[in-house]
């Protein structure tokens, strides 16, 4: 019986790096976007309508960083779609 341990390992390794990487970068983007703003006291259950209005000052550097983070995530998603569609490769 042939058990392909190396491809199981690759799935685990690449999957880990890709998923944790995207979540890390996206979360970092959210964190930068929220820099200098009041906190949402409701935490994870905060609905959009319950958010305190943006009143603080977010440094331009943080905004640029957030933009970069979201751009990286967008590229990751496009790459995922590219991988899904066999006609592309």
| Residues at the contact surface with another protein, assessed by CB under 8 A | 1-4, 7-8, 10-12, 14-16, 18-20, 22-24, 26-31, 33-34, 37-48, 51-52, 54, 73, 77, 80-81, 83-87
CB of 64 to another protein, least distance (A): 17
CB of 61 to another protein, least distance (A): 17
CB of 84 to another protein, least distance (A): 6
Q: What is the DSSP string of 14-74?
A: HHHHHHHHHHHHHHHHHHHHTTTSPP-TTGGG--GGGSPP--S---HHHHHHHHHHHHHHH
Residue 44: CB partners within 8 Å, gap ≥ 6? none
CB closer to another protein out of 68 and 73:
73
């Amino acid at each position: 019986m042939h058990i392909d341990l190396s491809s199981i390992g690759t799935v685990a390794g690449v999957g880990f790096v890709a998923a944790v990487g995207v979540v890390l970068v996206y979360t970092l983007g959210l964190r930068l976007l929220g820099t200098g703003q009041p906190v949402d006291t409701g935490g994870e259950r905060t609905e959009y309508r319950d958010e305190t209005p943006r009143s603080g000052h977010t440094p331009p550097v943080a905004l640029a960083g957030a933009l970069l983070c979201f751009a990286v995530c967008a590229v990751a998603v496009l790459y995922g779609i590219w991988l899904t569609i066999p006609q592309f490769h």
